[in-house]
Structure 1
Amino acid sequence: MKIRPLNQADLIQARQLWEACFHDHPAFLDWYFQTRFQPEDGLGIFQGQRLLCDLHLAPRQIKIRNKIYPSAYLIALATDPAFRRLGLAKNLLTYALRHLAAHRRFFTFLLPFHTMFYTRLGWGIYADHRLYLLPKGTFSGHSLSKALHGHDQSDLDFYKNDADQKLLEGIYHRAMESRDGALVRTEQDWTGLLLDLHLEHGRIWLAATNPKADPQGYAMVLPPSPATHGRPLLRELAYLKPHQTMGLAQLAPYIPPGTCAQFLGRITNVRSALEALPYPLLTAELVMEIIDPLLPENSGLYLLNLTKGRMHVSRTMGLKPAVHCTISALAALATGSCSPQELVNTGEIALDDDLLPVLDALFPPTTNFINEYF
């Protein structure tokens, strides 16, 4: 067996493998394989010319702690049913992480179908993925406004509209400016999102003071289904003013069967990750031990030297570590998805007591948001 990047001649097999493992609309797959997916962004395990297992490393720009980084969204990890339970998926993921590290992508993320499979391999909680159930009968702009705003005296109502993609892009961009972590959507990202919404018979509602006023937000709504017990589903909500999303607190979250409510993130290279992040203008030094169950080259002792906010990381030996940290906990620290104290409580971090305030200062918790499937 051989692992290698895909090429144009492999696309027929790649699509057949996708269709054997997942249940996506043919029109979406037509667009994805003809327009979106570039063969060199896929990796596969081959036996001769036969594709047994593949993974798509979709290039993305993400924001971590208000700084933009190149990354990869790992999607469609698929194994030929006749070759499952042979460890192929784990081998391909290991190869993919090293491939990304070699291409200077220190962080990658995915939406898991089996959370435990990934967390035991070093993935940690990264970002929220939130869908919400709307009340039955939410079919008009007024009922949608009532569901989202309740009895608040909001001056916004919702109006059905075939919204211009550029308009939605602008609202999303402004809405995500208030978040420390988010996906930076490209035009192709938007094309895929809106195509998926269309194929699911979803609607877009624009929020404004009246039908002719400038929109202040949008809501993407999916129709009722047996899985939601006849209730519409709020696919995405974005406002120019972030406080207007407070109405989400009164809605029930919805997790589609076979998916997770959170994205998982993974560090591919410890030194690259720690040196790339922004830090407060502090000076500190500590020795950290990293435990990586999948990439032994990441495991070991690191000397972290922070001088006025600039981090320098080097490998070291023979020093006593002040912090013991799993690679999954490092992903949570780096992205701010968990506080240091939370990770101490779960046993993913052990440290000298006097270092907790230092980690709190270096890695404050924040909120990350991604709402994509592809």
Structure 2
Amino acid sequence: MNEPEIRLIPKEQYLESLSLSEFAFQMELAPQAREEKIAQWKEEEHWGAYVDGRLAARMMVLGLHTWLHGKRWAMGGIASVATWPEYRRGGLVAGLLRNALRVMRENGQTLSYLHPFQFAFYRKFGWETYTETKKYEIPTALLPKLPAQAGRVIRPGEDVELLNSIYRSFAVRYNGTLDRDDVWWKQRIFANKKGQAAVYYDAANAPCGYVYYQVKERVCQIHELVALNREAQKGLWRFIADHDSMIDKVTLSAPSDDRLPFLLENPRIKQEIMPYFMARIVDLERFLQLFPFAAPEGQKQRQSEIQLHVTDEHAEWNNAWFAVRIESDGSVRTEKMPDSEGANIASTPSIACDIATLTTMMMSYQRPAFLWEIERLRGDEAALDLLEAIIPHRQTYLPDFF
């Protein structure tokens, strides 16, 4: 096989690209869905690997935004990775991924997410698991038994502005959620998840929660249940329970730290925790400059500076030493160091890891102490203690798919 050429897929080759996706993901789009896909085409998102002039593999790099520790970050979403069988195991996807890292860096997308077909495959390229999803199946008889609340439930239709205002207040509380726009709601939520929305308004007439759900064949499938406070949570579950004559069970997904079973009279419901999406830091220097480190509690910290050594086989700009310093005002500063300085680790506590380990740690999916225990972090315990102090705790969650 000749050296592949990686370039953007022109719109006139979209049907060829779409055929590859349909084959790889074993699906067949209806004519209307196919026309919608064509209308939504953004040439800058579609990359192909060409062998002898023929499209052999493809990948999308989506321009998205995500929440991390309360800050909004530009993020590149890797999606629709597909290769014709006769070209597999030829390094085409590896080439597309390396190209995607370069493109995302140029576009200022400091982070990247993807849904893996195989976790081990993408770990080789620096992505690491960052979130899980908890799935429930609740028989109708075991639904929460709650009194009527002071507020009311209204069906707003596809009111994107209303629903997104509630969702955004919810999403910013987590690491790894998307900051959705109108197009995402229309093309990804309403178009792909059939159902109805119901919004809970409190006694002051403020919208503080919603449920987007579908009732079909006596199953209530909750696509999303978002509650900004306990009252909204109780009001929405009361609303769902009032469907009892129509349904035999309720299914839904929730953050992995959700504690719904504890609130039930009988918590013995079916629940399953599944690893979900992976994340990767694309531009480490930029990421560390923007990251909202926590201020350590002064005297409890034994050191005010560490050296961080990161290795990245597929993005050479991330292979570096970084100084992480606690300033006198409690703020944290980071600085990329020349190799000659970074090699001198005698006087300053240091710690080392690869980009995948650093990503899952900074996303707060896994804590430094655990990564140290399983030997994914290496170095001085003083540096470990400082990392534990300055990396904030926050639950990860992603209710979306791409």
TM-score (norm 2): 0.77
Cα deviation, 1:275-301, whole Å, max 9, x if unaligned, reads: 121223469322222122433443343
Q: Distance in 1 between matches of 2:230 and 2:332?
A: 29
Instruction: Check the 8 A contact 1:340/1:359 in 2, yes or no.
Output: yes
Instruction: Check the 8 A contact 1:304/1:313 in 2, yes or no.
Output: no
Alpha-carbon deviation of 1:197?
A: 0.9
In the other structure, the counterpart of 2:250 is: none
Moved more, 316-325 or 326-335: 316-325
State whether structure 2 residue 304 is matched by structure 1 residue 310.
no
Q: Mark the runs of 5 or more structure 2 residues left unpaired by the alignment.
A: 238-257, 262-268, 297-302
In the other structure, the counterpart of 2:20 is: 17
State whether structure 2 residue 225 is matched by structure 1 residue 237.
yes
Change (3 A) 1:224 1:8: same
Match of 2:393 among 342, 362, 365: 365
Please show how residues 1-374 of structure 1 align to structure 2 within 5 Å: 1-22=4-25, 23=27, 25-26=29-30, 27-35=32-40, 37-135=41-139, 147=143, 150-153=144-147, 155=149, 162-192=157-187, 193-198=189-194, 202-207=195-200, 215-222=207-214, 232-241=220-229, 249-250=260-261, 252-253=270-271, 261-281=275-295, 284-307=304-327, 308-317=331-340, 318-320=343-345, 322-374=350-402
Instruction: Check the 8 A contact 1:305/1:313 in 2, yes or no.
Output: no
Change (3 A) 1:67 1:208: closer
Q: Distance in 2 between matches of 1:164 and 1:56?
A: 29
Q: Distance in 2 between matches of 1:341 and 1:245?
A: 34
Change (3 A) 1:177 1:359: same
Q: RMSD between aligned alpha carbons?
A: 3.0
Aligned identity (percent) is 20
Cα deviation, 1:160-209, whole Å, max 9, x if unaligned, reads: 663422221122122224335421001011012110012xxx34344457
Q: Distance in 2 between matches of 1:273 and 1:253?
A: 35
Amino acid at match of 2:226: A
Aligned length: 350
TM-score (norm 1): 0.82
Q: Distance in 2 between matches of 1:370 and 1:126?
A: 10
SS in structure 2 of the partner of residue 325 of structure 1: strand
Alpha-carbon deviation of 1:371?
A: 1.6
SS in structure 2 of the partner of residue 358 of structure 1: helix
Alpha-carbon deviation of 1:16?
A: 1.3
Alpha-carbon deviation of 1:129?
A: 4.1
Alpha-carbon deviation of 1:131?
A: 4.5
Q: Distance in 2 between matches of 1:24 and 1:331?
A: 36
Instruction: Check the 8 A contact 2:209/2:232 in 1, yes or no.
Output: no
Q: Distance in 2 between matches of 1:254 and 1:194?
A: 26
Cα deviation, 1:31-53, whole Å, max 9, x if unaligned, reads: 33312x41111211012442111
Q: Distance in 1 between matches of 2:8 and 2:321?
A: 32
Q: Distance in 2 between matches of 1:24 and 1:277?
A: 42
Amino acid at match of 1:272: R
Instruction: Check the 8 A contact 1:131/1:235 in 2, yes or no.
Output: no
SS in structure 2 of the partner of residue 196 of structure 1: coil
